Chains A and B, each alone.
Chain A
């Protein structure tokens, strides 16, 4: 799933490891999300959105076809 996790993280000057620590996952998981290789669970998506104080929709683009 396309997402802006990387740009949000870099705006806040956080390393992947720091973001991973904040949301309770491994650095590799944050890396996989940023590279669109892993779609996070709803719980993790909420945690990421809370961490960046934005909505899930702002962070993730599910590219749904209507």
Chain B
């Protein structure tokens, strides 16, 4: 295996290059969207914002294309674990906020003490949607790893 070091280095370089392209694609798309909105402020033609949105989508799909189109894994197992733990913490915080705030909001809204803004319920339903997706994904992977 020690003799493979040159090809391993090449593979590593390729991986870093693909990661860079993937990041450039996503950030290029985000920059294009912001630039389009900035242009739209001084030149309020909706076509400008539509073009920015399309460029953003292209950047996003470009990133996905690079990540899934290459035979090299762009993330290693530690990076996957970091992402997984960060996701779990985010979900946990969302759960705590949802569990604490929802009954309180229902109580104050029902008693007329305070009119809860419709946007708040929108956020709560978004949380519910996320947890439904999480539940489905969890069940799927639980069955496939059992």
Chain A residues packing against B (C-beta within 8 Å):
12, 14, 17-18, 20-22, 24-26, 28-29, 32, 38, 40-41, 43-44, 50-51, 53
Chain A residues, Cβ within 8 Å of B8: 18, 21-22, 24
Given A20-B12, A21-B11, A44 contacting B77 (CB threshold 8 A): yes
Count of interface residues, chain B, beta-carbon cutoff 8 Å: 14
Cβ–Cβ contact B78 & A22, under 8 A: no
Q: How far, in angstroms, from A20 to B8 measured CA to CA in the complex? A: 9
DSSP class of B's interface residues: helix, strand, loop or mixed? helix
Please, could you name 17 A-B residue pairs with CB atoms under 8 Å apart, sorted by A?
Answer: A14-B5, A17-B9, A18-B9, A21-B8, A21-B11, A22-B1, A22-B2, A22-B4, A24-B8, A24-B11, A25-B77, A25-B78, A26-B78, A29-B76, A41-B77, A44-B77, A51-B2
Chain A residues, Cβ within 8 Å of B5: 14, 18, 21-22
Chain B residues, Cβ within 8 Å of A40: 77
Cβ–Cβ contact A38 & B11, under 8 A: no
Q: How many A-B residue pairs have CB under 8 A?
A: 44
- For A12, A20, A21, A44, the residue with the greatest tally of chain B CB atoms inside 10 Å of its CB is A21
Chain A residues, Cβ within 8 Å of B76: 24-26, 29
With A17-B9, A53-B1 known, 6 other A-B pairs at CB within 8 A are: A12-B2, A14-B5, A21-B12, A22-B2, A25-B77, A40-B77
DSSP class of A's interface residues: helix, strand, loop or mixed? helix
Q: How far, in angstroms, from A52 to B21 measured CA to CA in the complex? A: 33
List the A residue with the shortest CB-CB distance to B12: A21
Chain A residues, Cβ within 8 Å of B2: 12, 22, 51
Q: How many whole Å from B98's CB to the nearest CB in chain A?
A: 31
Cβ–Cβ contact A17 & B78, under 8 A: no
Q: How many whole Å from A41's CB to the nearest CB in chain B?
A: 5
